[in-house]
Amino acid sequence: MIEFQMPSLGADMDTGTLVEWYKKPGDLLKRGDVIALVETQKGAIEIEVFNDGRLGDIMVNPGQKVPVGAVLATITEPGDARAAALPPEQRAPSSLVETPPASVAVPRIPREPPLPSPPSTQLLEPTSPSASGVRAKVTPAARVRADAAGLDLAVISPGPDGVIGLREVEGARTVRSTPRKSGLDLGEMRKAIAAAMARSHREIPHYWVSQTIDTTALFDWLEAANSKRPVASRLLYAAPLIKAVGLALKETPELNGHYVDDVFKPSNSVHLGIATALRGGGLVAPALHDVDVLDLDVIMAALADLIPRVRAGRLRSSELTDATATFSNLGEGTSESLMPLIYPPQVAIIGCGAAALRPWVVDGAIVAHRLLTVTIAGDHRVSDARRASQFLSRLDRLLQTPEAL
């Protein structure tokens, strides 16, 4: 028996609203299946399952807003029919809890103070307000009404006065009975960004290292390569740049991974979060998986797929949790460089200004070359500027031979 929980889809996520179940109780599940749609501050996220099994009881109905870690449904694994028959209190101590998809690739992001539990599989933790020691102010009538409606008080947001009354219960019921159209709330997203960046600025001892890289070779190669391609499959310079960043990160593991519970866990894979601006404001950095081994056409196709989905607010859960470092590119503008903040629990972010013609010294003469200033922010708890400098040097060399990417 696995308890399928509301995943944390980033350091800035506290709650999610279940929008839709794609599976019914009893349906067979395969690892990787998208089983539900959850609305977060980053839009509607398709939640994947990371085990084979059969969907058991659905605990959260469409429209309910629940905290990260709340059990959404149970999944029975082959052969645990006996466990499923036990009452929950007997089941809980032995049941492993999965926080998908963090259980596979990414440790669960700790709240403050960090949870002492091991990151991948852990015993069930109480998430209701009462269990955490803070007694919610719930009016007697609200308790009775919520109980009658089968609503868990732990998932009902109190009013501005901190009270859960009939109004709040009715509100939760209404939400449940009329599923909202999913979409992005940019105000909420801005709050989420602010929370994540405030935490980053507060907790991560940042350093920044910049290097200006001559991209003449890259753009010359790109022009030649694109001239042979149909318009639809032409490459943008972001594709080789992302690939080169991926390769350079692979060689500097101190910049690629997660810092959780005072421990750095380097990642064997390079999943690069692509910071993507939204029209009207807002920013999401979904992961492109395994960028170090993808070929450029696949990266290009992945970008073409990802960006519209980001802007429509429809991402998959793994894309929001798996990134091992982030790439932020201001290439469309005229800014020379940026000094980005790391997105916790990652330990590095790479920012690129616009690639523009600027003075460059070649063989003792000043000539106009297309230059790109790359700045990496690193986490002093894990690495120092020297490693970041090695990363940038490696990136520079990789970009001088774009045909090899």
> Cβ neighbours of residue 373 under 8 Å, at least 6 residues apart?
210, 211, 212, 213, 336, 337, 352, 353
> In whole angstroms, how close is the CB of 173 to other proteins at the nearest point?
15
Residue placing its CB nearer to other proteins in the complex, 166 or 362: 166
Q: Which stretch binds other proteins (CB under 8 A): 126-134, 138-146, 195-203, 308-316?
A: 138-146
Q: Which residues pair with 260 in a beta bridge?
A: 263
Residue placing its CB nearer to other proteins in the complex, 167 or 380: 167
Residue placing its CB nearer to other proteins in the complex, 166 or 194: 166
Residues of this chain, 152-171, that bind other proteins according to CB under 8 A: 159, 161, 163, 165-167
> Cβ neighbours of residue 136 under 8 Å, at least 6 residues apart?
129, 130, 153, 154, 158, 164
Measured between its terminal Cα atoms, the distance across the chain in Å is 45
Q: Which stretch binds other proteins (CB under 8 A): 56-64, 133-141, 290-298, 331-339?
A: 133-141
> In whole angstroms, how close is the CB of 139 to other proteins at the nearest point?
4
Please report whether residue 142 would count as binding other proteins according to CB under 8 A: yes
Helix, strand or coil for residue 144? helix
> In whole angstroms, how close is the CB of 172 to other proteins at the nearest point?
15
Residue placing its CB nearer to other proteins in the complex, 141 or 194: 141
Residues of this chain, 82-111, that bind other proteins according to CB under 8 A: none
Locate 38 and state its tokens. Answer: 């959850």
Can you list the alpha helix ranges (DSSP code H) found in 48-130? 81-85, 88-91
Which string of b and e fits 287-304 if b means at least 16 CB within 10 Å?
A: bbbebbebebeebbebbe
Q: What stretches of 52-181 adopt beta strand conformation (E)?
A: 53-58, 65-67, 71-76, 96-98, 121-122, 137-138, 163-164
Binds other proteins by CB under 8 A, chosen from 91, 143, 265, 358: 143
> In whole angstroms, how close is the CB of 129 to other proteins at the nearest point?
19
Please report whether residue 139 would count as binding other proteins according to CB under 8 A: yes
Question: Rounded distance, CA 107 to CA 118, Å?
Answer: 8
Q: Which stretch binds other proteins (CB under 8 A): 111-119, 136-144, 333-341, 360-368?
A: 136-144
> In whole angstroms, how close is the CB of 64 to other proteins at the nearest point?
21
Q: How many residues bind other proteins (CB under 8 A)?
A: 12
Residue placing its CB nearer to other proteins in the complex, 169 or 287: 169
Binds other proteins by CB under 8 A, chosen from 141, 224, 293, 304: 141
Residue 46 is given by DSSP the state E
> In whole angstroms, how close is the CB of 186 to other proteins at the nearest point?
29
Locate 175 and state its tokens. Answer: 């939400």
Please report whether residue 140 would count as binding other proteins according to CB under 8 A: yes
> Cβ neighbours of residue 81 under 8 Å, at least 6 residues apart?
none
Binding site for other proteins (CB under 8 A): 139-144, 159, 161, 163, 165-167
